[in-house]
Amino acid sequence: MKVCILGSGLTALSLAKALVNQKIYVDIVALHKKPNIEKSRTIGISKSNYEYFDKNIIKIQKIIWKLKKIEIYSENLKNEKILNFENNTNHLFSIIKNHQIYEALNKSLSKNKYCKKTKYKKKIFKLDKYNLIVNTDYNSILTKKYFNKKIEKAYNSFAFTTVINHDKISNDTAIQIFTKIGPLAFLPLSKTKTSIVYSIYDLKNLSREKIINLINKYNPKFKIKKIDKIEHFKLKSLILRSYYYKNILAFGDLLHRIHPLAGQGFNMTIRDINSLVNIIKEKIDLGLPLDSSVNDEFEKKIKHKNYIFSNSIDLVQEFFNFERKFHNSFLSKSVKLLGRNISLNKMFTKIADKGINS
């Protein structure tokens, strides 16, 4: 049995590594062998997803930075803390640079006999030799042909990312500030480095100087020595209406793309990998072929969960955007009161860690 994965990004390599670890032959087919990965981009991985990734895909303990606290503030409440999540005995979340996890996966797959990488020059290639095709490539001809029905939403905002170098501190707390122009996240990478993700509404063509001024304005505690190159990308959400066509399955950002304010995008993908690999393993253990039935089972198991979770993130974004537009602090005050409820706080923490489980 052989699986074809279209694309060469982080999702493609993560799924490929999970499959070859089960001794399943995988061909990674892509227009480009190595995508351009911005070094300022980081991803957050929840505790349960870290444990799955580290055990079933590749060891990442040495390249992640573990966080014990997450603090959320609102400028409408004069930068008062409205939510607080913490675990002093273990970690809640981990931050890792995109390019570091990509290089670790790429190096491991290059030495694996179950994995073969193929670069195609044309957007036409033979697919009939594969039992299952997983498409992670947004620019693939298969995407345009079979996966063009989707629900999209433009946020009319851009995410600006960079890394600040600062004086040494313990740095185990992620900080999210809902400012008057959008959510700003400080995500620790080490004792001396912190990633910045600033999603700014309505403002275009901001200069590096203006972004730096905004970072300094809301800087909660860091003595900044240097600010790296600032990257930016347009923000939008996406939910695919149909997950598969015959034995071709859409995957990763093709299925769901969400606002980065909660750091949950790649966490959704890791949970999808876990579910897909388990379905494939069950088929193989029962001596059944890998065919469209894998995709059908995956969609029935995952689609409603992803839909609920994606819309929940969008609701949080709209919640604070509404408050921002009308210059009202009522919503932040309400969230602050809810956050004091221990049971609700635990529930929020569990959903952020494991997603929608039922």
Return the closest-CA partner of residue 82 out of 347, 326, 333, 321: 333
Return the closest-CA partner of residue 269 out of 10, 7, 4: 10
- The identity of residue 67, as a single letter, is L
What confidence score (pLDDT) does residue 270 get? 96
pLDDT tens by residue, 283-299:
999 999 899 999 999 99
Expressed as residue numbers, the domain containing 161 is 2-354
Give the bridge partners for 65, in sequence order. Answer: 95
Q: What is the pLDDT along the chain (358 residues), one digit of tens a residue?
A: 789 999 999 999 999 999 999 999 999 998 766 777 777 889 999 999 999 999 999 999 999 999 999 998 888 777 778 788 887 777 889 999 999 999 999 999 998 999 998 877 555 567 778 999 999 998 888 898 999 899 998 888 899 999 999 999 999 999 999 888 889 999 999 999 999 999 998 766 688 899 999 999 999 999 999 999 999 888 999 999 999 999 999 999 999 998 887 788 899 999 999 999 999 999 999 999 899 999 999 999 999 999 998 888 888 887 777 766 666 666 666 666 666 667 766 776 777 777 776 4
Collapsed DSSP state (helix, strand, coil) of residue 40: coil
What confidence score (pLDDT) does residue 209 get? 92
* 225 CB burial (10 A radius; 0-12, 13-18, 19+): exposed
Q: pTM of the entire structure?
A: 0.90
How many other C-beta atoms are found inside a 10 Å radius of the C-beta of residue 132? 25
User: Cα–Cα distance between 336 and 326 in angstroms, integer?
Assistant: 19
Return the closest-CA partner of residue 24 out of 297, 300, 273, 255: 273
Give the bridge partners for 45, in sequence order. Answer: 94
CATH number (domain holding residue 326): 3.50.50.60
What confidence score (pLDDT) does residue 269 get? 95
- Describe the strand order of the beta sheet including 132-135 as a list of residue ranges: 115-119, 25-30, 2-6, 132-135, 248-250, 244-245
Distances (CA, A) of 50 to 44, 92, 198, 252: 9, 10, 24, 17
Q: What is the total count of domains within the chain?
A: 1
Q: How far apart are the first and last CA of the chain?
A: 31
What confidence score (pLDDT) does residue 170 get? 93
How many other C-beta atoms are found inside a 10 Å radius of the C-beta of residue 190? 12
What confidence score (pLDDT) does residue 214 get? 93
Collapsed DSSP state (helix, strand, coil) of residue 32: coil
Q: Which residues contact 137 (CB under 8 A, 6 or more apart)?
A: 6, 7, 12, 30, 31, 143
Give the up-direction half-sphere exposure of residue 146: CA atoms within 13 A in the CB hemisphere: 20
User: Cα–Cα distance between 325 and 323 in angstroms, integer?
Assistant: 6
